[in-house]
């Protein structure tokens, strides 16, 4: 069985991998840190890694994107989009919260992953304004720690699965700002996984523009536009080499095998852009 490195156990990464891949085909190797997910996949300890890359409310997880681009050489092998239901998890004090208006007024500290506050902003403002947020490496790690402290003033935010795993009560369900809170995950790895057919294929490329070429970005975009190639995302990130230098991270709907897309890439290279292909892969979306 091929091994998959992911944040876990009890994380959203794990729940989404269960949904799209499943444990009957892959062995999961859970890690506490996303850096370990990347490095174990790089060294071959695991065949593939699962990386949360983008969220409906917050946009890209820049830290993970930068890792993928700068620290490792791991092609993208698949992507999936999965709904994220956030839960407030912790203990109630014996006499209740002591505040008739706020059942969670007893909470003084929240342990969770760094993408969580942006997704639960309204709930946290309304009920947890008296609590400080402490960063931990995954939502499940926050829940595990809360179960160790067993202190009603310390709560966590994460999956129902982790609440079960660590035997802590769920105090409130679906606390994310929007019902349709989705996260996009990438499967990365050196080998080619055996996966089910998908309805759509995507290609991700990185483009660095030539410095002395005014209008280069316009030319890049028009290479796609006149071929009617759809771009689903374009984002600029610092190259980390020189202040003010950026590369463009571009998600394209379509396969690199298509004549049109490979011709567009050739045209972009011909004007002096550097092009790095991060992957051409099946894209899966969530259906109930
Ligand atoms: O910590 C987790 O559960 C993860 O898998 C990372 C994450 C956190 C919040 C939303 C989506 C993914």
Domain borders along the chain are 2-84+181-188, 87-172, 200-284
**Residues 269, 216: contact at Cβ < 8 Å?**
no
Give ligand 1 pocket residues (Cβ under 6 A): 7, 11-13, 52, 84, 113, 115-116, 138-140, 158, 183
With contact defined as beta carbons under 8 Å apart, do 188 and 74 qualify?
yes
CA of 198 to the centre of ligand 1 (A): 24
CB 286 within 8 A of CB 19: yes
Res. 94: pLDDT tops 90 = no
Domain 200-284 has CATH 3.30.70.260: yes
What Cα–Cα distance (Å) separates residue 106 from each residue in 113, 153, 155, 197, 210? 21, 6, 10, 49, 56
* Tokens encoding 201: 């294929």
Instruction: Provide the ipTM.
Output: 0.97
pLDDT at 213: 82
* Residue 86 or residue 56, greater confidence: 86
Q: Do 87-172 and 200-284 have matching folds?
A: no
The mean per-residue pLDDT over the stretch 160-182 comes to: 95
Beta strand 182-189 with 246-253 is unpaired
Using the predicted structure, report yes or no on whether residue 164 has a pLDDT greater than 90. Answer: yes
Per residue in 125-135, pLDDT (tens digit) is 999 999 999 99
Q: What confidence score (pLDDT) does residue 240 get?
A: 83
Residue spans of alpha helices (H) in the chain: 12-20, 34-43, 62-66, 116-119, 121-127, 139-149, 160-165, 216-225, 259-270
Task: Please identify which residue in the block is written with the tokens 């839960």.
Answer: 87
pTM of the model: 0.94
Q: CA nearest 125: which of 56, 180, 175, 59?
A: 175
Domain 2-84+181-188 listed as CATH 3.40.190.10: yes
The correct answer on CATH 3.20.20.70 for the domain covering 87-172 is no
pLDDT band at 95 (very low <50, low <70, confident <90, very high): confident
**Nearest atom (ligand 1) to Cα of 10:** 3
pLDDT at 288: 64
Please give the structure tokens belonging to residue 136.
């931990």
Determine the Cα–Cα distance for residues 104 and 153; give it in Å rounded to an integer: 9
Nearest to 163 by CA among 29, 15, 26: 15
The band of 6, judged by pLDDT with boundaries at 50, 70 and 90, is very high
State yes or no: pLDDT of 277 exceeds 90: yes
Atom of ligand 1 nearest to the CA of 7: 5
**Ligand 1 mean position, distance from CA 13 (Å):** 6
């Amino acid at each position: 069985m091929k091994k998959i490195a992911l944040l876990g156990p009890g994380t959203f990464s794990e729940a989404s991998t269960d949904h799209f891949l499943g444990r009957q085909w892959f062995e999961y190797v859970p890690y506490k840190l996303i850096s370990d997910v990347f490095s174990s996949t790089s060294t071959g300890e695991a065949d593939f890694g699962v990386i949360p890359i983008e969220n409906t409310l917050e946009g890209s997880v820049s830290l993970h994107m930068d890792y993928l681009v700068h620290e490792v050489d791991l092609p993208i092998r698949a992507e999936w989009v999965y709904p994220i239901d956030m839960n407030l998890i912790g203990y109630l004090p014996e006499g209740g919260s002591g505040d008739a208006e706020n059942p969670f007024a007893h909470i003084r500290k929240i342990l969770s992953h760094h993408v969580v506050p942006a997704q639960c902003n309204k709930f946290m403002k309304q009920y947890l304004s008296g609590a400080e947020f402490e960063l931990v490496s995954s939502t499940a790690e926050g829940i595990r720690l809360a179960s160790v402290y067993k202190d009603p003033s310390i709560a966590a935010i994460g999956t129902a699965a982790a609440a079960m795993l660590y035997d802590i009560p769920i105090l409130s369900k679906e606390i994310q700002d929007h019902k349709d809170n989705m996260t996009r995950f990438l499967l990365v790895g050196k080998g080619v996984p055996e996966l089910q057919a998908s309805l759509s294929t995507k290609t991700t490329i990185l483009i660095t523009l030539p410095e002395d070429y005014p209008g280069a970005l316009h030319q890049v975009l028009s290479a796609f536009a006149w071929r009617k190639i759809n771009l689903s995302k374009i984002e600029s990130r610092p190259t980390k080499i020189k202040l003010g230098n950026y590369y463009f991270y571009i998600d394209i709907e379509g396969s690199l095998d298509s004549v049109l897309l490979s011709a567009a890439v050739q045209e972009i290279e011909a004007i002096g852009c550097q092009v790095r292909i991060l992957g051409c892969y099946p894209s899966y979306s969530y259906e109930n």
